[in-house]
């Protein structure tokens, strides 16, 4: 390939007409390939990777419209049209799983999304530099720890018999709470543990945005008699508005997706009715129970809604005058 384009550029083929848009396009293309052949060479494996491992699975979603059987393969399996979707939308489990996914994401948006913003505002007010540094470094650590490990720590902390949380509750006269096994408490545990893991790390972007706020704005606000709260409201928050906007788009784009690993680490049979989300359902029904086409239909439904969501939120944010994602 490399050799060919090189020699071709040096000696154009004689039977090629010298004029005409088609051939000049080919010639300039050849020149471009020769000049940047190293760069194009690097991109070849990248393109193969994208095609094979990113775009081929997208094409593989057609099995949602088939009755896929391992023995028949993707092409050999029979077409069934929208039958898988009809089956899905007619089933009760679909609505439970969808409701759980949306609810957990809604709670996340309401409680976990603002957490790093509040934390960053508080950290931003810490004036002692070494103290702030130390706090930040400690707050970032949970982000780097696996959900399996955190899940195991959380289960131990919240255990009704041996956990420290229930021990303290007992000390003030409250009966043990089954945080992990109670349908009401499990979502709370889920959200709080999510905040605990990610809120600290989430402050990085907000703190950076705050650092770029012009300090004279704060001085001007002080001269105008604004107290700390008012300074935060009128200077800090407007200063991080576009950061909030971007992260909000990303979050809404994930509305249909609750990460598999957190749920899998925290769930147990007692709370399936509130903890089964799309990702865990696809795993259990698809990978474990081999219902490939049925779960692919659910996966495709999820991906399409997510795509629509992120594209429309990006539009809205742009219309509001903020910088979008693309």
Decide whether 2 or 228 has the Cβ nearer to other proteins.
2
Residue 276 C-beta: closest distance to other proteins, Å: 15
Answer for which of 1, 118, 122, 148 binds other proteins (CB under 8 A) is 148
Are 159 and 170 a contacting pair, CB within 8 Å? no
> Which region among 4-12, 31-39, 96-104, 221-229 touches other proteins (by CB under 8 A)?
31-39
Question: CA dist 125 to 207, 220, 225, Å?
Answer: 11, 17, 18
Structure tokens at 152: 């195991």
Structure tokens at 116: 């790093």
**Residues 39-73 as b or e (16 or more Cβ within 10 Å = b):** ebeeeeeeeeeeeeeeeeeeeeebbbbbebeeeee
Decide whether 38 or 79 has the Cβ nearer to other proteins.
38
Helix axes 83-90, 292-319, angle to 10 degrees: 80
Answer for which of 4, 6, 24, 56 binds other proteins (CB under 8 A) is 56
* Residue 11 CB neighbour total at 10 angstroms: 7
268 is an interface residue for other proteins by CB under 8 A: yes
Answer for which of 16, 126, 208, 220 binds other proteins (CB under 8 A) is 208
| Footprint (CB under 8 A) of other proteins, residues 153-172 | 153, 155-156, 159-162, 164, 167
Answer for which of 12, 24, 25, 49 binds other proteins (CB under 8 A) is 49
Residue 81 C-beta: closest distance to other proteins, Å: 18
| Footprint (CB under 8 A) of other proteins, residues 76-135 | none
Decide whether 58 or 110 has the Cβ nearer to other proteins.
58
Residue 237 CB burial class (10 angstroms; 0-12, 13-18, ≥19): middle
Q: Phi and psi for 209 in degrees, rounded to 5?
A: -65, -40
Residue 10 C-beta: closest distance to other proteins, Å: 19
147 is an interface residue for other proteins by CB under 8 A: yes
185 is an interface residue for other proteins by CB under 8 A: no
Answer for which of 6, 36, 134, 289 binds other proteins (CB under 8 A) is 36
Answer for which of 213, 261, 316, 322 binds other proteins (CB under 8 A) is 261
| Footprint (CB under 8 A) of other proteins, residues 272-311 | 279, 282-283, 286-287, 292, 295-296, 299-300, 302-303, 306-307, 310-311
Site string for other proteins, 221-260 (x = CB under 8 A): ----------------------x--x------x------x
**Measured between alpha carbons, how far is 246 from 253 in angstroms, rounded to an integer?**
11
Under DSSP, is residue 232 helix (H, G, I), strand (E, B) or coil?
helix
75 is an interface residue for other proteins by CB under 8 A: no
Contacts of 95 (CB under 8 A, 6+ apart): none
Query: Could you identify the residue written with the tokens 């898988």?
Result: 84
Question: CA dist 189 to 180, 193, 263, Å?
Answer: 7, 6, 11
């Amino acid at each position: 390939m490399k050799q060919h384009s090189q020699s071709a550029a040096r000696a154009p083929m004689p039977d090629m007409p010298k004029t005409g848009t088609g051939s000049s396009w080919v010639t300039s293309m050849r020149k471009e390939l020769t000049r940047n052949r190293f760069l194009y060479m690097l991109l070849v494996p990248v393109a193969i990777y994208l095609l094979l491992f990113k775009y081929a699975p997208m094409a593989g979603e057609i099995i949602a419209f088939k009755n896929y059987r391992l023995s028949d393969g993707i092409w050999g399996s029979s077409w069934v049209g929208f039958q898988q979707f009809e089956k899905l939308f007619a089933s009760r489990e679909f609505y439970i799983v969808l409701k759980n996914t949306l609810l957990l994401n809604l709670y996340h948006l309401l409680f976990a999304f603002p957490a790093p913003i509040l934390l960053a505002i508080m950290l931003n007010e810490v004036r002692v530099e070494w103290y702030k540094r130390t706090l930040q470094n400690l707050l970032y650590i949970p982000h780097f720890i696996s959900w399996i490990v955190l899940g195991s720590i959380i289960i131990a902390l919240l255990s009704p018999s041996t956990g420290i949380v229930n021990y303290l509750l007992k000390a003030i006269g409250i009966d043990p709470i089954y945080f992990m096994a109670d349908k009401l408490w499990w979502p709370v545990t889920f959200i709080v543990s999510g905040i605990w893991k990610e809120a600290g790390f989430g402050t990085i972007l907000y703190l950076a945005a705050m650092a770029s706020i012009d300090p004279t704005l704060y001085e001007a606000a002080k001269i105008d008699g604004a107290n700390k709260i008012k300074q935060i409201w009128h200077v800090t928050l407007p200063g991080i508005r576009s950061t909030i906007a971007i992260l909000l788009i990303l979050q809404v784009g994930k509305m249909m997706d609750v990460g598999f690993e957190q749920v899998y680490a925290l769930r147990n049979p007692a709370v399936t009715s509130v903890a089964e989300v799309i990702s865990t359902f696809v795993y259990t029904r698809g990978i474990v129970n081999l219902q490939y086409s049925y779960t692919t239909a659910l996966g495709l439904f999820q991906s399409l809604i997510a795509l629509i969501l992120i594209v429309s939120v990006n539009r809205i944010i742009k219309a509001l005058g903020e910088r979008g994602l693309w």
